[in-house]
Structures are given as structure tokens and as C-alpha cells.
Structure 1
């Protein structure tokens, strides 16, 4: 059983209040997910984020494969962080922490994701070929999309 980790970091030239307003609205996940994933929220995105919130999605991580993904928002500290955990979905385990902090001229966001792929040894074998590159592509897309929406942080 192998636990993988992904760290991302991005600075944006927005206020902490503006960033939190965007990221605490689950419907905005549609905006920052690559179109080729055919991401669609089925339920749970009608309210601002709160602990215990269940959000149900439909995604297509690879052409011709459609999956349901159910996450729970387990912890929320307004303007500081939130945590989403997979309850059912494509990963064997998914724990995603989102951190926000004010910096000169904007905010810094950090994501820390711990995850396990399904299918045991076979899943681990294909992790560097399929799962890891796909996850990296999603966060690269997200970084570019956020810069389009909010501008590029100077520096």
C-alpha cells in the first residue's frame, strides 16, 4: 500500500477575502478543471463551503471512462484552509488540504494532497505513467486558469 503526495504552490495578486470567496464556492471547481475531464457537479455545490458538506461530481479522467466522485469537506477554517476527503471515487484514498495566506501584494495558496491509487501493485506500477501525469496536468491547468482569472503575481 503506497501513499503518494503532491504539493503545489501558487501566488495570486488578489486579497485573501476575494480568494476565499472564490475557493469556498464549490461551483467554481467547474471553472478550474480541464474541459476534457467533462467535470460536472451533480449535487452539493449550492452553498458556500462548510464542514460536513458532501459534494457529488461526475468526471471523465480518460477518454471513454466516466466516474462518480463523492467528497466531504471535513475541515474549514475561513480564509485559512479547508480539507476535502474522497468518500467514493477514483482513488483508493484522497486527502486534500488547501491553505491560504496573505502575502505582500496578494495571497499564497498551497495544496497538499495525499492519495493512493486503486488496483494494488498494478495501480502502483501505472501510477507514474497515468495517475501522476494526469494529476499534474490538472493542477497545471488550474494554475494557468487562475492566472487568467486573477492575473499573474508580480515577482
Structure 2
């Protein structure tokens, strides 16, 4: 198992950060480099408990599909999505939100296991863990920029309450 932990400080309300992290639209914006698109499950809006989403994206020159499901949910402080099917042997992504000194601290705890046994461990050590950390960091930057600016208003205004 590999573990990535990231902390992002955001000057925006906790609820906005929480909702942006669940936004299907924001996820697609943050993964433009890999041309990630939703192809099944929750197609738009904010993903919630027991909902699934299937993504198709290009990574390492290959088109890959991954389905994840929200398995734990405690708004607006915590949710977990886990891989149901896809290229990893497994993954669990904990999204944790708390207020410290007037700022939202968004913590990602991403634990994954590479496929292919020993070969997967080698690939992970060689580049996969750093690749995944970069993807999460880029996504968090989009969340931060959207929450601290006005982009969140448009993204979340289209959400059914």
C-alpha cells in the first residue's frame, strides 16, 4: 500500500470547499490534462453517500476507466470515495475538512495499492506515487482557486438543493 497525505489551506468557508470537492464539474475541470470525462453513474452535480461515478481518462498514453463510490459521508467535514473497479488493485480517498485559525484545512488521505504484484510495486516506486501526488495537488489547486475566487458560485449554483 502507498499513502499520500496532502494538506491544503483555503481562505474560504468549509462548506464551499466540501461541496467543490464533491463536484463532478470541478473534477472534470481539474483533470483537463488527462481529458477525464464522466461516462456513467453520477453525471453532474455533487456526489453523495452510496453514489458511484465512472471516469474515462488518458494516463500514460492509455485510455483507462475507473469507477468509485462514496462509502462514508459526514457533511461538511468528511467523505470517502473508494474504487469499485479500475486500474488499481484498490484505493481509498479520505477527504477531511476542518477550520483552523479562520481558514479551511482540506486534507486528502489517499491510500492505494498498485496492481501486478512485484511489478506494480516497482512501477509505484519508480513513478506512480509521485504521478498520483501531482494529480491530487493540481486538483487541490483548482479547488483552492475556485473557492477563494468567484468560480465556486457558478459551479455550485447549478446544483440542485
Find out whether 1:67 has 2:64 as its counterpart: yes
Find out whether 1:139 has 2:136 as its counterpart: yes
* Long gaps (5+) in structure 2: 150-161
Q: Given the two structures, how large is their TM-score scaled by the length of structure 1?
A: 0.87
Instruction: Kindly provide the CA deviation profile for residues 67-97 of structure 1, in whole angstroms up to 9, marking residues without a partner as x.
Output: 1100011111011100000011111010110
Q: In 2, are the aligned partners of 1:25 and 1:45 still within 8 Å (CA)?
A: no
**Which of structure 1's runs of 4+ aligned residues deviate more than 3 A?**
none
| 2:18 match | 20
Please report the RMSD computed on the Cα atoms of aligned residues, expressed in angstroms: 1.7
| 2:152 match | none
State the secondary structure of the residue aligned to 2:54.
strand
| 1:130 match | 127
Q: Given the two structures, how large is their TM-score scaled by the length of structure 2?
A: 0.84
Which structure is higher in helix share? 2
Q: In 1, are the aligned partners of 2:69 and 2:83 still within 8 Å (CA)?
A: yes
| 1:107 match | 104
In 2, distance between residues paired with 1:62 and 1:11? 30
* Long gaps (5+) in structure 1: none
Q: CA deviation at 1:151?
A: 4.0
Aligned length: 148
- Worse overlay, 22-31 or 9-18: 22-31
Q: CA deviation at 1:103?
A: 2.3
